[in-house]
Amino acid sequence: MSGTRLNKYIASSGLCSRRKADELIESGVVNVNGKIIKELGYIVQEKDKVFVNQKLVRPARHEYYKFYKPAGYITTSDDEKGRKTIYDLLPESMYSLKPVGRLDKDSTGLLILTNDGELINELTHPSVKVPKIYIVTIESRIHPHQLQEMASGIEIEEGKMAYADVMVLEADNRHTMMQITLYQGLNRQIRKMFEHFGYEVKSLKRIQHATISIEGLRRGEFKPIKPQQIKELRNFLNRISKK
């Protein structure tokens, strides 16, 4: 039968991921042509009208951008405290795009922005170990046993273990610059890992997320991600999800 599975149709609107769409379907807030549908495998045909919470949803044309976040901006579309957000740097046409993960106010570097809810879920779901690469500097020389401890795991909060692969790029008695790869998405993970040793992070920049890199961008700049790069990203996610 031609058509699209209902959960994929909802996800393709940018409203949410397929997993969340399944939850919405099961909760009874989805109707097709005026009829409540709770069947997860329901097939939507081209002329069908799908409503979620009484609002019409349609498949969106997916957009994919990479953005070089500067320091001093938070990764959200709205802030109760009135702080500057990344959307202050973006055109209104991009306000509907969501960031894949976050960078805290003082951190810089790569953010992927998209309205593809399914891709956001694949890149951020804890069951898939998606690599994110950072360049981090501290004002101290780090010790080899601390690097090993970061690889083995550090408890940064009660019951939360954080892991990182670290490669030293430059070091002297006053500073250490490192390339750090994370496979988790814990809040302020890198900063908390160094706080464990009594170090303060002086600079933190994300340079790569999965197969997408910051290459070719200046601070505050954004560029569309090419279709071939999205294809390569999806192939990469498919490979690592099977491990």
pLDDT band at 30 (very low <50, low <70, confident <90, very high): very high
Q: What is the mean pLDDT of the chain?
A: 93
Residue 79, pLDDT score: 76
Q: Are 201 and 138 part of one and the same domain? A: yes
d(CA 104, CA 8): 31
Closest of 161, 71, 131, 142 to residue 107, by C-alpha: 71
CATH code of the domain in which 25 resides: 3.10.290.10
pLDDT band at 243 (very low <50, low <70, confident <90, very high): low
d(CA 90, CA 101): 17
Q: Are 139 and 203 part of one and the same domain? A: yes
- Domain hosting residue 95, numbered range: 64-126+211-241
Q: Are 119 and 219 part of one and the same domain? A: yes
Whether 177 shows a pLDDT value over 90: the answer reads yes
Residue 77, pLDDT score: 81
d(CA 202, CA 195): 12
Please identify which residue in the block is written with the tokens 């046993």: 145
CATH code of the domain in which 159 resides: 3.30.70.1560
Whether 1 shows a pLDDT value over 60: the answer reads no
Residue 82, pLDDT score: 82
Q: What is the average per-residue pLDDT within 56-66?
A: 91
pLDDT band at 17 (very low <50, low <70, confident <90, very high): confident
Q: Are 233 and 121 part of one and the same domain? A: yes
* Residue-wise pLDDT tens digits, 106-153: 999 999 999 888 899 899 988 889 999 999 999 999 999 999 999 999
Residue 121, pLDDT score: 86
The total of structural domains in the chain comes to: 3
Q: What is the average per-residue pLDDT within 56-72?
A: 93
Q: Are 122 and 232 part of one and the same domain? A: yes
Q: What is the average per-residue pLDDT within 153-177?
A: 94
Q: Are 162 and 178 part of one and the same domain? A: yes
Q: In the 8-state DSSP scheme, what is residue 74?
A: B
Q: Are 149 and 168 part of one and the same domain? A: yes
Which residues are identified as catalytic?
104
Cβ atoms of 214 and 66 closer than 8 Å? yes
Residue 15, pLDDT score: 84
Residue 103, pLDDT score: 95
Q: Are 49 and 71 part of one and the same domain? A: no
Question: Which of 33, 57, 81 corresponds to the end of one domain?
Answer: 57
Q: What is the average per-residue pLDDT within 74-84?
A: 85
